Amino acid sequence: MRHFYFDHNATSPVAPEVLRDVTDSMAANYGNASSIHHFGQAAKQRLESARRTVAARLGCTDREIVFTSGGTEADNIAVFGVARRAVRTPRHVITSSIEHPAVLNACGQLEREGVEVTWLPVGSHGVVQPEDVRRALRPETALISIMHANNETGVLQPVAEIAAIAREANVPFHCDGVQVGGRLPVSVRELGVDLYSISGHKFGAPKGIGALYVRKGVDLAALFYGGHHERDRRAGTENVTGAGALAKAMALNSDWSAFAELRDRLERTVLERVPGTRVNGKVDCRMPNTSNIRFEGVEGEAMVIALDLRGYAVSSGSACSSGAVEPSHVLLAMGLKPEDARSSVRFSLGPGNTLEQIDELIDAVAASAAHLRRISPAVLSGSAV
């Protein structure tokens, strides 16, 4: 059986060019970048070359890039680093109810430390309203953290508008850009953000490498304690090979816009062929590769399993919440009933997906939905589509 991958928002395959780069780097750049001998300096040159590439892709200076182990660490450094450094008391943080767990749980920890957190709501479209951010501001607000694109629905947030509000209030603004950076062109200067997180495994680099943009002048409290790596912003021996792979992947993948045509074909045809289906989120302002579809009368997890058995990898929500019994917090925040949130499936496209695969996936979705509805207790009782 052939297997096709439609779960790029969870992780993407390592690009062949990046894989070759990783192999070459591990053989040639095994020195510690902090060592002063030949091998150490070769590793240092490799590290700084990667930093310049990533900075160029994000539209900032190389001194503003901090390499991390991935998006979660980048988010944690930003959230804890700014909030714990704040001199204002009591401290206050603004975030949204649809953030990735890396931000949600970090803010939850801040609450346990005595920081007040405002959790902004979203409407049925899954969009944070800039005016809600403005109204939530207080004199003691130390940080605003709003994602660039939601990992489950792909909905893009009005980051530039929120950044302008934050700048006017002189409040640092962190943006979780993990689903956007490396996939669409990003200029942190044009967005106006103070901190921006990316993760390499979302766009062709290996797992275990990410980066955080930290605007010059933003002060961070330490999350790790150790040596003076990354200009005292992230202690620990640098992942030289990972940094190089991140840079290589960013140079290869800068625009996933072409996937919108395939995504739209998938949605249009599924909605035509499968009764009781609906797209979750604001359809005209999303990442071009992402679709979140609700199937009435079908458990999302059952659909994921059924499609996997037919050779198609999809997801029922955030990969970081796999195995969770609770329905998606994102879809609940958008006003869906728990049973509707549980009946939703995420399809996320990426390099390697073709028109032929999309058409075959549509057939598999239609067949799986029909089969699951036939055997569903709800259907048997006549209470579902």
pLDDT (0 to 100) of residue 378: 54
Q: Is 325's pLDDT higher than 80?
A: no
Cα gap 155→166, rounded to integer Å: 21
Is the whole model's pTM more than 0.75, yes or no? yes
Cβ neighbours of residue 241 under 8 Å, at least 6 residues apart? 22, 25, 26, 29
Residue 133 to residue 166: CA distance in whole angstroms: 9
For residue 147, give every residue at least 6 positions away whose Cβ sits within 8 Å of its Cβ, in sequence order, or none.
Answer: 96, 98, 99, 100, 103, 157, 175, 176, 177, 178, 179
Model confidence pLDDT, tens digit, residues 75-124: 999 999 999 998 778 999 999 999 999 999 999 999 999 999 999 999 99
Rounded mean pLDDT, 167-182: 98
* pLDDT, tens digit, 9 for 90 and up, residues 256-294: 999 999 999 999 999 999 999 999 999 999 999 999 999
For residue 381, the model assigns a pLDDT of: 40
* pLDDT, tens digit (0-9, with 9 covering 90-100), for 27-49: 999 999 999 999 999 999 999 99
What is the pLDDT at residue 331?
A: 98
Nearest to 173 by CA among 113, 210, 218, 223: 218
Least confident of 12-16, 178-182, 378-382: 378-382
| pLDDT computed for residue 205 by the predictor | 97
Catalogue the active-site residues. Answer: 320
**Which residues are bridge partners to 313 per DSSP?**
5
Of 71-85, 125-139, 283-297, 304-318, the range with the lowest mean pLDDT is 304-318
pLDDT at 376: 75
CA dihedral 341, 344, 347, 348 (to 10 degrees): 0
| Choice among 88-97, 149-158, 375-384 with the minimum mean pLDDT | 375-384
For residue 385, what pLDDT is reported?
Answer: 43
**Residue 383 has what pLDDT?**
44
How would you classify the pairing of strands 65-68 and 92-96?
unpaired
8 A C-beta contact, residue 291 and residue 346:
yes
| Average pLDDT over every residue of 215-235 | 93
- Whether 61 has a pLDDT exceeding 80, the answer reads yes
Residue 326 has a pLDDT of: 83
Which pLDDT score, from 0 to 100, does residue 319 have?
Answer: 54
pLDDT category at 377 given cuts 50, 70, 90 is low
Domains of the chain, CATH where assigned: 4-12+256-380 (3.90.1150.10), 16-252 (3.40.640.10)
Average pLDDT over residues 181-208: 98
pLDDT of residue 89: 80
Between 296 and 317, name the one with better pLDDT: 296
Read off the pLDDT of residues 133-148 as tens digits, 9 standing for 90 and up: 999 999 999 999 999 9
Two tokens, residue 179: 């689903």
CA angle 259, 243, 73 (to 5 degrees): 80
Confidence of residue 320 (pLDDT cuts 50, 70, 90): low
